[in-house]
Structure 1
Amino acid sequence: MKIALILLGLLAAFWGVTLWKAARHEARAVVQHPPLGRFVTVDGVRLHILQAGTGPDLVLIHGASGNMRDFTLDLVGRLTDRYRVTVVDRPGLGHSDRLDRDGATIFEQADILVRAVAQLGVERPLVLGHSYGGAVALAWATRHSEATAGLILLAAASNPWDTPLSTYYRVLSHPLGQVFAVPVLTAWVPDHVVTDTIASVFAPQPTPPGYVDYIGAGLTLQRRALRENALQRAGILAEVTRMVPDYAALDLPVEILHGDRDTTVWLTIHSEPLSRQIAGANLVVMEGVGHSPHFAEPDIVVAAIDRAAARAGLR
């Protein structure tokens, strides 16, 4: 009994230190990488949004585990001379609140983002989505066609795949993992573990200069972000499968860009079928490019945005 009490006391002490370290890590992350924009509240949910530039409206939606800084490091600066660019932190990530504890579906995210940007006067924008954000952009267009001028999809998750959910996301999306594993990661995992993973996302291209310091690995390791991202990743396959039949009804300019060296979201599984599922969609296969076309070939991405704008009659 005495040994059991000692072990229980040690466990309680470890858990107390873990929660303290997790809170400290989160506070440091916010200080080092503060909000870049403003907050918009929809039904009590605060969403972090940055708006810059003048011209036709363009909304940018980032991928899994990330935040708006993935766009503000470089791409936004290439666009603000001729677009009013609105960049969002998706629900639960970056500095945005979670919608609930169940994980926001791509449809729920699209719904609240449409309402959020409308508060800033954005009513019928071009919508660009990268990776997971591409699925949200497609949900935006299929559910809110009246609020979509056109789509630009970068390595977008758009069609069902047959690989299982990774052990990492299975653990973190499980109720016990949400309670116990997440705080341990926030408290004890150093930021460089996230930055080491970043290199694999950009491969075969090198990680862009300054990206690691700018993106804010600590924001990714927030308990809120880890929980929400895991649940979003666990749910996206079923959600995309449900959305596929809606592609045929899309009647708007769609530009699809995908690298042929992408091993995160596969060209042959996603963008090639998508280009056949949406009438008039234009597919650009980017030779030698990995999962981040907007860093590997930003001029090609900007040209695709300009084509979508022209096709939509915005320029």
Structure 2
Amino acid sequence: MTFQHARFPSFISDCVFAVRRYPALTTVAGAATLMAGAALINRQLAKKADRDNPPQGQFIEVGGVRLHYVERGNGRPLVLFHGNGSMIQDFESSGLIDRAAENYRVIVFDRPGFGHSLRPRNAVWTAEAQANLFKEALSQLSVHRAVVLGHSWGASVAVALAVRHPSLVEALVLASGYYFPTARSDAAASLVPAIPGFGDIISYTASPILGRFMWPAMLRKLFGPQSAPEKFAGFPREMALRPGQMRASAAEAALMIPGAFAAAKTYNELKMPTIIIGGEEDRLIDINKQSVRLHEEVKQSKLYRIAGAGHMIHQSAMPDVMAAIDEAAAQTLH
């Protein structure tokens, strides 16, 4: 002990000397400490979010992927795919599931990496890869024909499902989708968080903090020109801000433009009844360059432009979306 006490002042002196000689060490050490602390806090918040929002549906395993889904109602199958960064609770809070369940067997999935579904890292989860996954999931659920609705990124999954497995999709409803490659600032911003390794560090440290800070502005962009309705308060923000979900969100944003390049070559293969619906005031996408153009390419499609509505059309104009589903389903009966 005497030796250690004698060396302690010397150790402090060496540390002070190192800090003065190499000030960058202090910055690096401080940043590392800050990031470790942020990661620990984000991990605890994610665990709390999972505890506060337990699964409300059931699980199915497909090819090693554990998927969470909610099934409600009876009748013709209706499958709903949510957008990027979202989950089942988006459709739940909109009231669309309850309304549709009055006449349909509604099946809503948490897509891979969102809500309570897993997103294995051994695959690139393009819209096409997800379409193949959901085809097998629906087969396990004894669904061989269905009306399919996709919102935003989910519309890309719905299109891929219809192109790859046309016998499964008897009618399509595409809401607020992104179908053709155009410049997207959100896609560019997601390139770094989507990088394997480094992106994980960002997703587990800075992204959840920035996400909380940017949440009000994001809602204004998604819902504008309207404000987020009171019913959207049922959407669990903290689930969306978990590091794993933010990592999945960044990956999907990075896939948008290349995905649209590939998908644009397949739209002439869509032969089933197709309803395209979009908000006239969508601040996230230009519906003239997306929904209107898709309508021109898919000859049997119908287009509905909802005045005063933004990107979250199923939230702000749920009855119009429900009417689009009913119309698409009715066309398959002739």
* Pairwise TM-score range, normalised by the shorter structure: over 0.9
User: Does structure 1 residue 247 correspond to structure 2 residue 267?
Assistant: yes
- Cα distance 1:190–1:242, how it changes in 2: closer, same or farther (>3 A)? closer
Question: Could you report, residue by residue, the CA deviation over 1:91-114 in whole angstroms, capped at 9, with x for unpaired residues?
Answer: 111111113266410101111012
Structure 1 CA distance for aligned equivalents of residues 277 and 299 of structure 2: 16
In the alignment, is the contact (CA less than 8 A) between 1:25 and 1:187 conserved in 2?
A: no
Q: 1:117 aligns with which of 92, 113, 138?
A: 138
Query: Paired residue for 2:5?
Result: none
Q: Quote how far apart the aligned CAs of 1:301 are.
A: 1.2
Counting only pairs closer than 5 Å after superposition, residues 125-274 of structure 1 correspond to structure 2 as 125-175=146-196, 177-185=198-206, 188-189=209-210, 191=212, 193-212=214-233, 214-274=234-294
- Bigger drift between 146-155 and 5-14 goes to 5-14
Q: 1:28 aligns with which of 29, 32, 48?
A: 48
- Cα distance 1:310–1:217, how it changes in 2: closer, same or farther (>3 A)? same
Letter in 2 for 1:2: A
Q: Quote how far apart the aligned CAs of 1:7 are.
A: 5.2
In the alignment, is the contact (CA less than 8 A) between 1:63 and 1:129 conserved in 2?
A: yes
Question: Could you report, residue by residue, the CA deviation over 1:194-240 in whole angstroms, capped at 9, with x for unpaired residues?
Answer: 2542232111122110313x211111122211111111111121112
Q: Quote how far apart the aligned CAs of 1:137 are.
A: 0.6
In the alignment, is the contact (CA less than 8 A) between 1:173 and 1:231 conserved in 2?
A: yes
Query: Paired residue for 2:104?
Result: 83
Q: Quote how far apart the aligned CAs of 1:18 are.
A: 2.4
User: Does structure 1 residue 298 correspond to structure 2 residue 301?
Assistant: no
Query: Paired residue for 2:12?
Result: none
Structure 1 CA distance for aligned equivalents of residues 147 and 126 of structure 2: 21
- Cα distance 1:248–1:226, how it changes in 2: closer, same or farther (>3 A)? same
- Cα distance 1:250–1:6, how it changes in 2: closer, same or farther (>3 A)? closer
Question: Could you report, residue by residue, the CA deviation over 1:171-206 in whole angstroms, capped at 9, with x for unpaired residues?
Answer: 312345413211113564574642542232111122
User: Does structure 1 residue 289 correspond to structure 2 residue 305?
Assistant: no
Question: Could you report, residue by residue, the CA deviation over 1:108-157 in whole angstroms, capped at 9, with x for unpaired residues?
Answer: 11110121122222221111001111111111101110111110011111
Query: Paired residue for 1:57?
Result: 77
3-state SS of paired residue (2:327): helix
Q: How large is the Cα RMSD of the aligned pairs?
A: 2.1
Q: Quote how far apart the aligned CAs of 1:169 are.
A: 1.1
- Cα distance 1:119–1:11, how it changes in 2: closer, same or farther (>3 A)? same
Structure 2 CA distance for aligned equivalents of residues 101 and 180 of structure 1: 19
- Cα distance 1:123–1:68, how it changes in 2: closer, same or farther (>3 A)? same
Q: Quote how far apart the aligned CAs of 1:292 are.
A: 1.6
Task: Give unpaired runs (5+ residues) of structure 2.
Answer: 1-16
3-state SS of paired residue (1:172): coil
Letter in 2 for 1:278: V
3-state SS of paired residue (2:305): strand
Count of residue pairs brought into register by the alignment: 313
Q: Percent identity?
A: 29
3-state SS of paired residue (2:277): strand
**TM-score using structure 2 length:** 0.87
Q: Quote how far apart the aligned CAs of 1:6 are.
A: 5.4
3-state SS of paired residue (1:91): coil
3-state SS of paired residue (2:250): helix
Task: Give unpaired runs (5+ residues) of structure 1.
Answer: none
Query: Paired residue for 1:105?
Result: 126
Letter in 2 for 1:39: F
In the alignment, is the contact (CA less than 8 A) between 2:187 and 2:257 conserved in 1?
A: no
Structure 2 CA distance for aligned equivalents of residues 25 and 196 of structure 1: 22
In the alignment, is the contact (CA less than 8 A) between 1:18 and 1:187 conserved in 2?
A: no
* Larger Rg computed on CA atoms: 2
Query: Paired residue for 2:36?
Result: 16
- Bigger drift between 76-85 and 98-107 goes to 98-107
3-state SS of paired residue (2:33): helix
